[in-house]
Structure 1
Amino acid sequence: MRTDLDAVATAALEKYDFSEKATITLVNVSENVTYRVDDRRTGRSAALRIHRPDYHSKAAIESELCWMDALHEDGAVAPPRPLAARDGARVVTIADERGQERYVVVFEWLSGRAPSAEGDLVPGFRVLGSIAAKVHDHGSSWRPPASFDRYTCDYDTALGPKAMWGRWQEGLGIGPSERDLLARLDAEIGERLAEYGTGRDRFGLAHNDLRLANLLVNGDRIHVIDFDDCGYSWYLYDFATSVSFIEDDPRLPELKSAWLDGYTSRRALSAEDIAMIPTLVMFRRLLLVGWVGSHHEYAAEAAGLGAGFTVGTCDLAEAYLAGEYLA
């Protein structure tokens, strides 16, 4: 357990209307650290998120919450509601044991389960596609306030020298042959993305991590969670994120078809858009090689993937460069 952050979570709770009977339980460690809060006196539960330092600014986090509010109010999707501290702040600042300031947000706890990642994934991917289209429709028409500040996920921020999630060149298991192959992949991705461009019909405000794990199903209601990566990117990047870590699954063509069925039932795509899907999937996969390399020491998911993820990426790169991946 990340006991060094337990004190941060406990201190943050004191700024909210929880009783002294409230307890915290670690839920997840990834970019951020998430706890479940259970107040035994009131029966109230919440999700408490401690943000990774030097990732998103306070203004960027407040902008994330702003878009979640708008999505909820406009009925596009149903994200969790952020809770205000007693002083009205929705992003609170707590110093950790090293004296470093950490940003904390508390959300209402939503009941439900993520759709199963086992068995038949087709229905879930059709739902993902439909939800992505709703989110993109909203993001393309919504006018954010002047203070809105979210990052752009493009070639430079994902694969460039200062990649936000870690440089793939510093991934696990990168030797000379892997570096050469992935450099050719990198160059091809960069060229194709530049040709595709960032026109308003294909690039805009999106969730950027819309996986089955970030849906909660409760009866006939579906909630979309974890907007921490929301920002500006290619709209079809949301398909690429939906197949994160399963890019080599033999069912991928079927999952792509189901996602596109759901998406195009609400929002049109051109043949050029659809042709970019393999490139965007490999763009995401190469980003994740850097993510595994920079996160494996503390994120269990990255540690579990290890150097084998780079080996699998090289196999996919060869197929992609030969024009045989998702063709």
Structure 2
Amino acid sequence: MSASDMPLKELLRHLDRLAQDSLSLWDVPEGASARLINVSENATYLVEAPGGYKSVLRIHRENYHSHRAIECELAWLEALDREGVVTTPGYYTGRNGDPIQTGRAEALADPRYMVLFHFVEGQEPDDSGDMTEGFEELGTIAARCHDHVLRWQKPNGFERLTWDAAAVFGPNSTWGDWRDAPEVTPELAAVLEKVEQTICDRLQSFGKAPDRFNLIHADMRLANLLVDANGTRLIDFDDCGWGWFLYDFAAAISFIEDDPRIPALREAWVRGYRSVRDMSAEEEAEIDTFIMLRRMALLAWIGSHIEAPEPQELAPGFAATTARLGQAYMDKIGA
């Protein structure tokens, strides 16, 4: 059976079995076991064994990334760490010499790719109070990553997802059609149609010059920073791909775009960014467009992932807030 046709609870039961059965593909200590800690695009497991061993197993969603695309993700995070741009998690090579393993669960039609990462110590920055310091650091890290990709010689056949207008609004959109999301009434859809067209027009004018549109993390939120006494580590490169550099700020405020703290966080992020890399006034003014591009993508994501707990929790009122933010965006730019 296809995973997309299976209730989430049943799917996770099969993935749990796959996780346990697959540990032998790596040289993990005897007695190791895997425990689910997160499910989104992928299922993520904490692997533990007697004696204090820990690692993190990522079981990829079916038919989302190719083997080559995952290789390219690992190549970039390895280069960032090796060249001192930002500390990233290492990964284990399987017994067959490949860091990307393939596993099958009897009840699932498609095989799954899996990667076993080093366990990273640290806490994510507190998002309940003043987040300006964390966002200034996010801006600094983003700028360093952007500078890196402009000089980094990417491997031949480099393959990753693209996060542009077609990926969000096109007929083969990566996360589905926002129109299918919960609570998108005809009245809200009328506003959101105008928002989509405005975003597309603005992005067409903004263009895709390599110093604006290149390889990005695409999910650089505080939740993907881990901080301890040794510094800050950037994790979860699963969404990294081709996109506008400024999309990295929009991703940083995913799901909290209407938070009253956003103007201060944006100012902090830009300040951190400019401490490393130039950002023109024109680019800064266009940040609102990328916030709305990301927000529309998230609306679609909620609709296409509604069986998972997080989208269910986020869905109530999300479409209405998106339309309100979109109208305010159009009013601000005079669209």
TM-score, structure 2 as length reference: 0.94
Matched residues in 2 for 1:90 and 1:189: separation?
Answer: 39
Which residue does 1:291 correspond to in 2? 301
Q: Can you list the C-alpha shifts for 1:88-117, whole angstroms capped at 9, x where unaligned?
A: 110000012324200000000001010011
Q: Can you list the C-alpha shifts for 1:242-289, whole angstroms capped at 9, x where unaligned?
A: 011110011111111000010000000111110110000000001100
Q: Can you list the C-alpha shifts for 1:69-91, whole angstroms capped at 9, x where unaligned?
A: 11111111111001101111100
Is it true that 1:218 corresponds to 2:218 in the alignment? no
Matched residues in 2 for 1:20 and 1:180: separation?
Answer: 58
- Structure 2: runs of 5 or more not aligned: 1-8
Which residue does 1:274 correspond to in 2? 284
Q: CA deviation at 1:219?
A: 1.2
Matched residues in 2 for 1:219 and 1:169: separation?
Answer: 45
Matched residues in 2 for 1:324 and 1:73: separation?
Answer: 42
Q: CA deviation at 1:19?
A: 3.0
Which residue does 1:258 correspond to in 2? 268
Matched residues in 1 for 2:22 and 2:94: separation?
Answer: 9
Matched residues in 2 for 1:294 and 1:161: separation?
Answer: 14
Q: CA deviation at 1:185?
A: 0.3
Q: SS of the residue aligned with 1:297?
A: coil
Alignment of 1:71-90 (within 5 A): 71-90=80-99
2:326 is aligned with what amino acid?
A
TM-score, structure 1 as length reference: 0.96
| Identity among equivalent pairs (%) | 43
Is it true that 1:69 corresponds to 2:78 in the alignment? yes
Q: Which deviates further from its counterpart, 58-67 or 15-24?
A: 15-24
Alignment of 1:1-327 (within 5 A): 2-40=12-50, 42-96=51-105, 97-298=107-308, 300-323=309-332
Q: CA deviation at 1:12?
A: 1.7
1:306 is aligned with what amino acid?
A
The runs of at least 4 aligned residues of structure 1 exceeding 3 Å deviation read none
- Structure 1: runs of 5 or more not aligned: none
Q: Can you list the C-alpha shifts for 1:276-326, whole angstroms capped at 9, x where unaligned?
A: 10000000001100000001112x22110114111110111111111179x
Matched residues in 1 for 2:164 and 2:43: separation?
Answer: 25
1:64 is aligned with what amino acid?
E
Q: SS of the residue aligned with 2:233?
A: strand
Q: CA deviation at 1:160?
A: 1.3
Q: CA deviation at 1:218?
A: 1.1
